Structure 1
Amino acid sequence: MPLVTLTSDIGEQDYLAGAVKGRLLRINPEFQIIDITHKLSPFNYPQTSYVCRNAIKNFPEFTYHIILVNLFESKPEQLLFAFYKDQYIICADNGLLSMIIEEKPEMVLGVPLEKSAIKNTLYCIDVAAKAITQLTNGEPVQNIGIPDPPYLEKHPLRPTLGEDWMEGQIIFIDAFENVIVNITQDQFERQRRGRRFKIVFRRDEIIERISGSYADVAHGEMLVLFNSAGYMEIAVNKGNAAGLFGLKGYSESNQSVPQAVQTRLFYQTVKVFFE
């Protein structure tokens, strides 16, 4: 019974999320389908890669992860079917694969899309479902797609580093408005080298200690901790950090906005100074 996860930016307001599951089950009634989320922000690759990377690694070996995010950035000619650390990842050829896994996968197939087909979301899910079924039935990979095809790669969003500082970008804001920064605990400790530090955001907000949990501070006080995925998180105990401090997640679309306007509207970065 193949375990299949779904992650998308299509939302849950209309029929499409349900229709995707229906199409999967029409092709293979044995699929066990699990939703990761359908509420990713459109065009936001850093957010998508953070969510997918940290969800995927917790699933049983040989789970199939279908990611329906920005399927039509360009005219699609293939879906990518990758194998990485005992997980299968199926996504568009739009640069997202390299951002999720941050290195070369162990295997990549290019599953071709018919030139004459109407390439909408449901057609793409049909192609993905058929490829999964073929693989689970033991068909050779050459019958499913083209091994090691050329595909688009994009660089993961990484913190910038200096001798006595590092700067991270806000990549996710959760339902409680806790703010996730693309600085992992390992990166922080390597850069820190045992030194004292100041975490600075919104120009004048400073935190000088890492908490173990929200309960380490009084209600209404801000804190920084490393979350269960190992990423830096700015929060307010029983409060809403993003709204209180005017923090906003990084998005490529925001980069077209002049910097002066961005500064007036929101803050997207967090700096750490070491001394």
Structure 2
Amino acid sequence: MPVITLSSDIGLNDYLVGAIKGQLLTAMPDCAIADISHQLTAFDYQQAAYICGNAFGYFPGDTFHIIIVNFFDQHPKRMLLAEYNSQYIICPDNGILTMITQSKPVDIKAIPIPATAKSLLDATKLIADCIKQMITGKKPDTTEVKDIEEKYPMRSAVGTDWIDSQIIFIDNFENVVLNVTKSEFEEIRAGRSFRIVLMRNSEFITRISDNYAAVQPGENLAFFNAGGYLEIAINKGNVAGLFGLQRYANASNMQNRLLYQTVRILFES
């Protein structure tokens, strides 16, 4: 039974997600379909990569992950099909593939989208047909591709005694995820004490907790989440709202906004 996941920026108020599932079930009645998220933000590739990349690892080998984000930024001529970690990613050729994989996969093919395909459902019908051909042992209608749109995740700015990390995700509880992993943090920390600056010269976090229960209600905390990223929160509180923190935007004009979209970590001997 093939396993297929869906991730998109479509939302759940439209019929499109249901229609795509209908296409998949028509082509493969015994497939299992799992939703990752349909609340991805168009153009925010960092957010999409964080959500999809951290979910995919929990699925079995040979899972097909369909990602529909920023699909019509330009008229699509092809979808990409890439093998990655014994699974398959199918997505637009707009940079989201390398954002998730963080490097260019070796095996990438293109699913051509003919000019006669006018709508998203025309394209997803081709995806359903391609997956069906693959799982039934038939040669899919794909072509080899080498040149693709490449985008890569933002990296924290780093000095000998500081890290400036971007906010890449804010969850429903308004906890804040930074783009620094445990290994990156510990490498720069080198055993030193640290301060995570929430408010300039007045509010800091100075230790890593295991979970929310490690501090009293209303207290700030920092921990490494299941994806391995540094997360800051308030036990039974709202850290993003309290400190005016916002997700790092992709807008070109960032003046007067960087203070609220990055978090500084200071290291002290």
Normalising by the residue count of structure 1, what TM-score does the alignment of the two structures yield?
A: 0.93
The residue number in structure 1 matching 2:30 is 30
- For 1:230-255, what per-residue CA distance to the aligned partner results, in whole angstroms no more than 9, with x for missing partners? 100010001111111111111213x3
- For 1:94-134, what per-residue CA distance to the aligned partner results, in whole angstroms no more than 9, with x for missing partners? 0010010101214110111112221x221121111111111
- 1:230 matches 2:228: yes
Q: Is 2:162–2:265's contact at 8 Å kept on the other side of the alignment?
A: yes
Shift, 1:174, TM fit: 0.7
Cα separation, 1, equivalents of 2:95 and 2:199: 31
5 Å-filtered alignment, 1:30-49, equals 30-49=30-49
- 1:168 matches 2:165: yes
Cα separation, 2, equivalents of 1:27 and 1:128: 10
- 1:188 matches 2:181: no
- SS of alignment partner, residue 22 of structure 1: helix
5 Å-filtered alignment, 1:103-114, equals 103-114=103-114
Q: Is 1:202–1:267's contact at 8 Å kept on the other side of the alignment?
A: no
Q: Is 2:117–2:123's contact at 8 Å kept on the other side of the alignment?
A: no
Unaligned 5+ runs, structure 1 = none
Q: Is 1:46–1:251's contact at 8 Å kept on the other side of the alignment?
A: no
Aligned Cα root-mean-square deviation (Å):
1.4
- Paired AA for residue 172 in structure 1: F
The residue number in structure 2 matching 1:131 is 130
- SS of alignment partner, residue 267 of structure 1: helix
Cα separation, 2, equivalents of 1:121 and 1:193: 50
The residue number in structure 1 matching 2:211 is 213
Cα separation, 1, equivalents of 2:105 and 2:84: 5
Cα separation, 1, equivalents of 2:76 and 2:225: 36
Cα separation, 1, equivalents of 2:22 and 2:249: 32
Shift, 1:139, TM fit: 2.2
Shift, 1:199, TM fit: 1.0
Shift, 1:91, TM fit: 0.3
Q: Which runs of 4+ in 1 moved over 4 A?
A: none
The aligned length equals 267
Q: Is 1:201–1:269's contact at 8 Å kept on the other side of the alignment?
A: no
Sequence identity, in percent? 48
Shift, 1:75, TM fit: 1.8
The residue number in structure 2 matching 1:270 is 263
- For 1:176-206, what per-residue CA distance to the aligned partner results, in whole angstroms no more than 9, with x for missing partners? 1111111110110111111111111342431
- For 1:131-189, what per-residue CA distance to the aligned partner results, in whole angstroms no more than 9, with x for missing partners? 1111111123xx43112332100121111111111111101111111111111101101
